[in-house]
Amino acid sequence: MSTGVRVGYQEELERLEASGLGGLEMVSVALNRTLEAVEHQDVELAQIVVADDDRIDGRYLEVHQSLITLLATQSPVATDLRLISALLHVLKNIERMGDQCVNVCKMIPLTGNEPPADEEMVKRILAMGGQTKTLISQAKRAFEERDIELARDLVRQDDIVDDLNRECFRLALEIGDDADKREWAMTMLLAARAIERIGDNAVDIGEQVAFVVTGLFREFEDASHPSA
């Protein structure tokens, strides 16, 4: 029924959605580098991730400002209003995901050049990262395609990340009495926790997909009132 009215506004909104969700690709790149830095104790690569986070923040600020301008000048309502509201949320999620990559990367120098790494724990952290990348791309696709089922499936995907995180915790508990090893394990637990939070942010994006489509906001999983 669209008859070519407000074309410029529609195009701008589409452009901002693409640009905002493009932030997820930037996060994916940052996470890739983060995992590589973890795997190889690459302090320099970690520093690049930290510096590059400014680009993610820049994207956030740019799209956020343009969305506010659309709100001020175009009085969006109905689906457009829900989309803009969701994008403002999602931008914040993306910005947080970037920050979590930074958090992980800042821990890498702390572990030293040749840390007493536990291979099992590193394996699980890398697996968490790989699974989180799946979550990020799935969240992006769910938003682009307004696919609630795909969005809802993020919860299941995120459970895998959560399980791996718990395993990291168990491994850290069992790491032994060596002080250096224990310090390394504690630091890596914080890294695992940061990656786990990236997964949570992806699930939050899925919730915004449901809001855009249905107009109802419901948490897929309420951490403060778990159903089980």
Partner 1 sequence: MGAAGATRVETRTGAEVSATLPGDVASKPGAVAAGSRPAKTIDVREVNLFYGDLHAVEDVTMAVEPNKVTALIGSSGCGKTTFLRSLNRMHELNPKARMTGEITLDGQDIYAPGVDPVQVRRLVGMVFQSPNPFPTMSIYDNVAAGLNLNTGRVKKSVKDEVVERSLRGAHLWNEVKDRLEKPGSGLSGGQQQRLCIARAIAVEPEVLLMDEPCSALDPVATLAIEELIGELKSKYTIAIVTHNMQQASRASDITAFFNLEATGKPGRLVEIGATEAIFTSPSEQATEDYVSGRFG
Q: Which two tokens stand for residue 43?
A: 């302090």
**Cα 208 to Cα 217: distance, rounded to the nearest angstrom:** 7
**3 versus 113: smaller Cβ distance to partner 1:** 3
- Footprint on residues 156-215 left by partner 1 (CB under 8 A): 214-215
Q: Which two tokens stand for residue 225?
A: 């009132």
Q: Does 70 bind partner 1 (CB under 8 A)?
A: no
**Cα 43 to Cα 30: distance, rounded to the nearest angstrom:** 14
Stretch that binds partner 1, among 28-36, 76-84, 127-135, 199-207 (CB under 8 A): 76-84
Q: Does 88 bind partner 1 (CB under 8 A)?
A: no
**77 versus 179: smaller Cβ distance to partner 1:** 77
> Of residues 6, 15, 156, 166, which one binds partner 1 by CB under 8 A?
6
**8 versus 226: smaller Cβ distance to partner 1:** 8
> Of residues 12, 42, 57, 80, which one binds partner 1 by CB under 8 A?
80
Stretch that binds partner 1, among 72-80, 120-128, 146-154, 193-201 (CB under 8 A): 72-80
Counting DSSP H helices and E strands in the chain, the numbers are 6, 0
Q: Does 79 bind partner 1 (CB under 8 A)?
A: yes
> Of residues 72, 78, 223, 228, which one binds partner 1 by CB under 8 A?
78
> Of residues 3, 113, 224, 227, which one binds partner 1 by CB under 8 A?
3
Confirm if 105 and 50 have CB atoms less than 8 A apart: yes
**Cα 29 to Cα 55: distance, rounded to the nearest angstrom:** 12
In order, the DSSP letters of 192-214 are HHHHHHHHHHHHHHHHHHHHHHH
**Cα 110 to Cα 99: distance, rounded to the nearest angstrom:** 18
- Which residue has tokens 């697996």? 127
- Please, which residues have CB within 8 angstroms of residue 101's CB and are 6 or more apart in sequence? 27, 30, 31, 33, 34, 49, 53, 194, 198
**6 versus 15: smaller Cβ distance to partner 1:** 6
Minimum Å gap between C-beta 9 and partner 1 is: 8
Stretch that binds partner 1, among 56-64, 77-85, 103-111, 159-167 (CB under 8 A): 77-85
Contact residues for partner 1, defined by CB under 8 A: 1-6, 10, 75-82, 214-215
